[in-house]
Structure 1
Amino acid sequence: MASDPLFGWDLTFKTVEKDIKRKADVIITFIHFNLIKRGFKSIGVGDERTLSGDEDKSELLPTGWNDNENYTLRYVLDEKLYILHGLNTDGNLIVNLMRSEDLAVSNVAVKIDDAVKEMSGPIEKMLPSHKDLMFNVKRDLIDTITERSTTTAHTQTTSNSNNRRANDDPLRVPPRPMPGVNPDTPDLWELPPANLPNIGRSDLDPFAPGGGGMIFNPFGPRRDPENPGLGIPGGLPRGAVPPGARFDPFGPPGAGPMPGRRRAPPDADHLPPPGFNDNMFL
């Protein structure tokens, strides 16, 4: 019956049985049978990647298909050329099916001695695991490449995408506004509000309006006259020292606190005053 997946195998094998030389030939014959079942037509041997249009299409394996240790067979499906490569190496048969139009490739690997037990007779004796092999050939070698889109389809999709207006692209990055111009809809490029200092902005935005770099200038116009900042003798920013924490004053010797501020009391870590000697080393 035509619904039998092995329908036609006996006839296919009988046409090449006298040509079988090695176990790998049985596997190639079985793969050829599966290709023919899916609509492929054989057009000869070789790796020529162009079609002349006058090739003879056949369901039979071409003459000389197993003259070499490795296999190179040409097939046609839907007016597209496919080339089957079979590489016999280290007891494995690696089979690639390439679509010449866009060089898309599918492949399947078979361990020869495990797959082929006999070189003639019923398929149950020649290929005891023929059901698994047929499934792998259909899934990995044939369906993978015949169901994959071709270059023509990809080009058409790309062309249609290019015809869309740029404004319709949801991934389009909005244009960056000029410095000092606030867009109608605020975005990441919008300048910060006027009440926030632009400290460090010029290091990130070469088009930013005037301002310092990442280092804050304590002598600049933005400094707090009541809290000059780190590095100014006798002064620190508010909150720099937690309440109750011990902290040694710093700054040049003899520099006192700012006018109007009470001198901080000394703590246990202060050095002794000049001239003090408790004779502790006598």
Structure 2
Amino acid sequence: MATGLFGWDLLYASVEKDIKSNQDILVCLTHLVLVSNGFKCIGLGESKNIDGSEAKSEALPKGWNEDYAIRYVFQGRLYNFKATPLDDGVMLNLIRADERTVSLLQLNAGSVAQKSGTLDEMIPDHKNVVDLIKRQLIDKVVVSKKSREMSSQTEPETTGRRLDNPLMVPSANPLRGPALPDPLGRPDILGVPSNYGRSDLDPFGGIDPLRVPNRILPPTGGGMIYQPPPLPSFPGVNPGVPPGSIPPGARFDPFRPPPDTDRFASRGPRRPDNDEFPPPGYDDMFM
């Protein structure tokens, strides 16, 4: 046959007197597919243990269609086959005993046209039925579960490295403009588009705040934190602040505008600005 499945005539001749239903024929075909793929029958039952002394055969044992519980060995491992008759078909299960993995396949009893004759006459669509048994029932338990788990773990790593696919190359962000060059040639450590908002994102200008900044280079930070004076704090430089209370290069929230923006700076830090409210009763002639 074109399917490469041989031995149906001999198998059917050995069990013809036992055939009673379409389910029997489908179980016989499943047994033939198992044997054709290297499985050997070692008897009936549902025991999960073997000792290696079991007799192996390609024939169905006597009483095979009473409970549809047949034991097979393949590559030294035990497989338990179980079939459950249904109203319109049969449910097939193949269990790999050492790993407790199970495959399941349901076949339609309507695929059996007659209970005698050649395989083509009995099951006209037997090629597709054989393919289903091979893929859905056998292949899913023959391959080790550990091998499948290892392949599933390594698959994302291999499939994720699609560097040759131009669609997988990350495209440039259209919202990112070219970074403006730093006047002193320093790299843009934050990667901010066009340096917009850099002073707010990097108030320390890339300088370690726990160390005294280098006063040779002008500071590049800023933002909403007060920019320190160009020289260490001296009396009169930070009005209203006790001398020595501000470490050199420290940034702080000022108590008043800095001297260069204070229009009354020349009057000294203790002179009022003449913009305070008058005292209570200022214009009361009886006070």
Secondary structure of the residue that 2:66 maps to in structure 1? Answer: coil
Please name the residue that 2:123 is paired with.
127
**Which has more helix, going by share of residues?**
2
Aligned-partner Cα distance in 1 for 2:98–2:51: 14
- Check the 8 A contact 2:113/2:121 in 1, yes or no: yes
Please name the residue that 1:38 is paired with.
37
Rg (Cα) greater in structure:
2
CA RMSD, aligned part only?
Answer: 3.6
Opposite residue 144 of structure 2, the aligned amino acid is S
Judged with a 3 Å threshold, the aligned counterparts in structure 2 of structure 1 residues 19 and 194 are, in CA distance, closer, same or farther, namely same
1:172-205 Cα offsets, whole Å, 9 max, x none, are xxxxxxxxxxxxxxxxxxxx98939xxxxxxxxx
1:35-89 Cα offsets, whole Å, 9 max, x none, are 1111100011111011122111110111111113xx2110000110001111223
Opposite residue 79 of structure 2, the aligned amino acid is Y
Q: CA deviation at 1:108?
A: 1.5
Q: CA deviation at 1:109?
A: 1.2
Matched, 1:56 2:52: no
Aligned-partner Cα distance in 1 for 2:42–2:15: 16
Matched, 1:77 2:74: yes
Please name the residue that 2:247 is paired with.
none
Opposite residue 16 of structure 1, the aligned amino acid is V
1:6-55 Cα offsets, whole Å, 9 max, x none, are 32111111111111111100000000001111110001111101112211
Aligned-partner Cα distance in 1 for 2:252–2:105: 72
Matched, 1:27 2:26: yes
Aligned-partner Cα distance in 1 for 2:135–2:15: 25
Aligned-partner Cα distance in 2 for 1:131–1:4: 6
Judged with a 3 Å threshold, the aligned counterparts in structure 2 of structure 1 residues 61 and 262 are, in CA distance, closer, same or farther, namely farther
Please name the residue that 2:4 is paired with.
5
Matched, 1:225 2:222: no
Which of these residues, 70, 95, 104, is aligned with residue 107 of structure 1? 104
Aligned residue runs from structure 1 range 1-282, under 5 A = 5-68=4-67, 71-112=68-109, 114-146=110-142, 148-151=143-146, 195=204, 223-226=253-256
Q: CA deviation at 1:133?
A: 0.3
Judged with a 3 Å threshold, the aligned counterparts in structure 2 of structure 1 residues 262 and 44 are, in CA distance, closer, same or farther, namely farther
Judged with a 3 Å threshold, the aligned counterparts in structure 2 of structure 1 residues 128 and 100 are, in CA distance, closer, same or farther, namely same
Aligned-partner Cα distance in 2 for 1:260–1:134: 103
Q: TM-score normalized by structure 2?
A: 0.52
- Check the 8 A contact 2:114/2:123 in 1, yes or no: yes
Judged with a 3 Å threshold, the aligned counterparts in structure 2 of structure 1 residues 223 and 38 are, in CA distance, closer, same or farther, namely same
Aligned-partner Cα distance in 1 for 2:21–2:275: 103
Aligned-partner Cα distance in 2 for 1:261–1:10: 116
- Check the 8 A contact 2:105/2:136 in 1, yes or no: yes
Opposite residue 58 of structure 2, the aligned amino acid is E
Aligned residues with identical type, % of pairs: 34
Q: TM-score normalized by structure 1?
A: 0.53
1:102-149 Cα offsets, whole Å, 9 max, x none, are 01122221111x211211111122111101101111111122222x22
Secondary structure of the residue that 2:62 maps to in structure 1? Answer: coil
1:140-174 Cα offsets, whole Å, 9 max, x none, are 1122222x2255x689x7xxxxxxxxxxxxxxxxx
Uncovered stretches (5+) of structure 1, i.e. residues with no partner: 158-191, 197-220, 228-258, 264-282
Please name the residue that 2:172 is paired with.
none
Opposite residue 12 of structure 1, the aligned amino acid is L
